Structure 1
């Protein structure tokens, strides 16, 4: 399968490496325009801590035009920019898969003729240094259609290719519910670990339970308007389960703050806050965390 991965972050490089392991795939990479020098190879450290190298094939216009699958693995705030830059260079028959944190309002993106899916992953990965990624934790992928019409043959081929590269994978017909579940988990773990500068597992401490309850109660009230029904006990159990399983992990938002990078807060707690405003619902705890993260970002910019 002809596949182009967009983004040289942890998830983009993880997919690039795993997809190239199948000789039937022709895989290329589109790096950010902010990257001034693209190396000839990438390094990959697998789950067993074994490091290997492989050639890095950059996507040119000819490769992009023949890509059957575009896997867009960029930060939420770069999704629109990435798609605008590629819109006229990719086939209308290609499939686009979006893999990012938080909620992006696809109604605000330009109308795309391509069939689009979203991919939610719980696989852990981190960039050790530019173009060297480490697979830090096994997880699961959920894939679901978001716009366009699924063509059964093409969809089956895509699912088989992705499931072989990075197991396990489920094609979900209830992807919106899974997106909201992931959003709720991110709304708790990301800002609380970033603000308190703690690993995920430390959120299991009793002192965080009250704020977790308040955040989730607000999220449940907003989700209800999108047809999503969650119970506080079940949602909290999911959050604590993820915090347990990823106990030693540094959340992506904490990592962004520590590395003085822009966070995805606008697409996580900020999404809840903005949606609540449009519905005239009060979500003070989510709003407070959004402002606290923005203050940390601002402090980083001033140093």
Structure 2
């Protein structure tokens, strides 16, 4: 089975590297040529945050879109802000049987993929794995947790081979029929963690050290839960806030993707996370003041970072 990772930053490299180590044919596609060259030259270094052990694996890396042709699976790990562009670009390389799986953060990526690839080829997933990009050819595996995947057309048997490959690679993987539940369940975790780590410039675990921050996490999560409840969305866990706290604890050493965006002066996915709740709440006529405030703050910092980048 040929598995291509589209967007091989921290998380894409983690999944691609582990799959390659498990014996799968893997292509790490990314536009960051320094990273691509480092992986091809020296291999991909994966540091275990818990033990400090370093494993070097040797997936193939490429900055050429054509390299993913004839793939059985495309796993999308690009920023949500570029999903539309990437889907349009890589549609030409997908075969009739190719599964296109989103493991991205946020709400709305699956809709984009369905529009370009059709429900029969689109898969939706969420993962509690965490990774930090350390530099070209180097990542840290900073958090471990289950991965849930689902076919958009409900034909879960299409995912059996991929689920087996992910399990062999060391990822606890479950096939689920609850697409909407999966996406919203991961969304609420990200809502409670990502933006706050970015605004406070702290790793996930430090959020739990401050009662005021834990209270804000609760406000963010409870607003999102109210929206989900109004939309009759069932989550995959029984106690959402406890789950958010637990994920923050289990990924304590992880630098969230949004904080990594801040550190690199890149646009964040805020409109697909907290901003998505604001958008859904407005449709329902519901107030979500804490999520709206957080969204406005991050958007403003996105603008400031962009201006800083333009001046350099």
Q: Relative to total residues, which structure has the larger helix share, 1 or 2?
A: 2
Structure 1 partner of 2:71: 67
Contact 2:7 2:30 in 1 (8 A): yes
Contact 1:16 1:29 in 2 (8 A): yes
What are the residue-to-residue correspondences of 1:204-223 with 2, within 5 Å? 204=208, 205-223=210-228
1:166 aligns with 2:165: no
Cα displacement (A) at 1:37? 7.8
What are the residue-to-residue correspondences of 1:240-259 with 2, within 5 Å? 240-259=245-264
Aligned equivalents of 2:66, 2:221: Cα separation in 1:
47
Question: For residues 85-121 of structure 1, what are the alpha-carbon distances to aligned partners after superposition, in whole Å with 9 as ceiling and x for unaligned?
Answer: 0112221211111111111254455342452112211
Question: For residues 165-193 of structure 1, what are the alpha-carbon distances to aligned partners after superposition, in whole Å with 9 as ceiling and x for unaligned?
Answer: 13211111224223222211211211122
Aligned equivalents of 2:102, 2:168: Cα separation in 1:
19
Aligned equivalents of 2:201, 2:34: Cα separation in 1:
31
Aligned equivalents of 1:212, 1:69: Cα separation in 2:
35
Cα pair distance change 1:222/1:149, threshold 3 Å: closer
What are the residue-to-residue correspondences of 1:151-300 with 2, within 5 Å? 152=157, 154-204=158-208, 205-229=210-234, 234-300=239-305
Contact 2:35 2:137 in 1 (8 A): no
CA-atom RMSD, angstroms?
Answer: 2.5
Contact 1:115 1:149 in 2 (8 A): no
Aligned equivalents of 1:252, 1:61: Cα separation in 2:
24
Q: Secondary structure at the match of 1:217?
A: helix
Gaps of 5+ in 1: none
Cα displacement (A) at 1:66? 1.8
Cα pair distance change 1:143/1:106, threshold 3 Å: closer
Cα pair distance change 1:61/1:248, threshold 3 Å: closer
Structure 1 partner of 2:139: 133
Contact 1:142 1:175 in 2 (8 A): no
Aligned equivalents of 1:132, 1:242: Cα separation in 2:
24
Q: Secondary structure at the match of 1:285?
A: helix
What are the residue-to-residue correspondences of 1:48-59 with 2, within 5 Å? 48=51, 49-54=53-58, 56-58=60-62
Cα displacement (A) at 1:197? 2.2
Aligned equivalents of 1:37, 1:253: Cα separation in 2:
20
Cα displacement (A) at 1:57? 4.2
Cα displacement (A) at 1:202? 2.8
| Range moving further from structure 2, 282-291 or 221-230 | 221-230
Cα displacement (A) at 1:293? 0.5
Aligned equivalents of 1:61, 1:252: Cα separation in 2:
24
1:99 aligns with 2:100: no
Structure 1 partner of 2:4: 4
The number of equivalent residue pairs is: 298
Cα displacement (A) at 1:233? 9.1
Aligned equivalents of 2:127, 2:156: Cα separation in 1:
23
Cα displacement (A) at 1:78? 1.6
Structure-2-length-normalised TM-score: 0.86
Aligned equivalents of 2:135, 2:64: Cα separation in 1:
24
Cα displacement (A) at 1:136? 2.4
Gaps of 5+ in 2: none
Aligned equivalents of 2:194, 2:35: Cα separation in 1:
31
Structure-1-length-normalised TM-score: 0.88
Cα displacement (A) at 1:229? 4.7
Aligned equivalents of 2:90, 2:298: Cα separation in 1:
31
